[in-house]
Structure 1
Amino acid sequence: MLDGRPEAVVRRELRELASAHLIVGAPGERWGMHDLLRLYAGEQASRTLDPHEPRQAVDRLLEHYLNRARAANTTLTALTGQAPVAEFADRASALAWFDAERLSLVAAVSAGEQTGRYQPAAHLAAYLNHYLDWRRHLDDRLTVDSIALACMREVGDRHGEGMALNNLGAALRQVRRFEEAIVAYEQATAICREVGDRRGEGMALNKPRRRVAAGAAF
């Protein structure tokens, strides 16, 4: 859970808050609150919480999204006949989860970069690529792939930078920014050759001729 306590305890407290009309939702569904209550809760948290607690909460949130997005992506990209992962029964359930969480997932990638969690942010972006292609959320894909590239450059991960450039090239091509896509692919090719990544090099050289690119994983 986000606050690090047992799930049963948190669910009980959520039901109590719902009974007091401070949040809306139902067990098994998403919970939410009025914008003014959210602002008030944030102000109270900044005054009363230990400074380390919000950072730990963000770490837990990113870990949760990474694990779930990885499982959902694995389900979406599974070959026919492959057994589904435990979290998702089929592609429809994986897509439904992505649909419900899309805005939060894109925001989590951005928050990861802004708070210095560069590796989790880049990995989460990679797990979103196939879904964002599937649903044609191309602006979102361009956003997360740009962030992933910045993150890989920030930590000096040359292999990750090559993969991020491959993904960004695909996103740029899909929104018809062809000159920028070519630059990204050329940079990806050079980096993949530098680090000896023959698969990544082949992807960079081949993607401009493919109609759809699902994205490279780090």
Structure 2
Amino acid sequence: MNGESMVKFILASASPRRQQLLTQMGLVFEVSPSKVEEVMDWSLESHQVATALAKQKCIDIATQTRYNSIVIGADTIVVKEDRLLGKPKDEKEALEMLNSLNGQWHEVVTGVCLCRTDDMKTISEFEVTRVKIANKSQEFLKAYISTKEPFDKAGAYGIQGFGSLLVEKIEGDYFNVMGLPIYRLSRMLGQLGYDIDLSALAR
């Protein structure tokens, strides 16, 4: 990667799934989760909400960083018929969310923001993936909730875990549903002058 020895990458998220995907891309990075209080006008379009939240996290960490780095912020939301679904607070809300998605299509929207700290140049983009949840029984949904997997997932499911048994089909970027559209991210890094070089990774 061009400039790899001079720049550090910082993920402004504690998400293990996003960490996994950055590693999959070959990036060496630090994890510095943003603790900024999320302030958002939820009447905005879903992609505007996701990108604005990603930017809040990204800028929060970028302004605290003293060395040259690229900060990566991301926020993923689930959208069903204009209703924005976040992380369920308890089993009742998880079941309510899963029932609203059961047998239906919905959208997963991830906003991504990059900030280059030496000049504070910022890029924000978003990715949308359509997901069809299979028609599952109440017994299955309750058993899934009992695994505790839904509670740190927007929309109360995770495609990479037991929730994969819920997903009938997707249209779009699979990694976006995990929480980070890595192809789009690689293009955004290129806009800041950092192209991933697989030959360098093989050394």
Q: Give the TM interval when normalised to the shorter protein.
A: 0.3 to 0.5
TM-score, length-scaled by structure 1: 0.30
Rg (Cα) greater in structure: 1
TM-score by length of 2: 0.32
Of the two structures, which has the highest relative contact order with CA contacts closer than 8 Å and spacing of 6 or more? 2
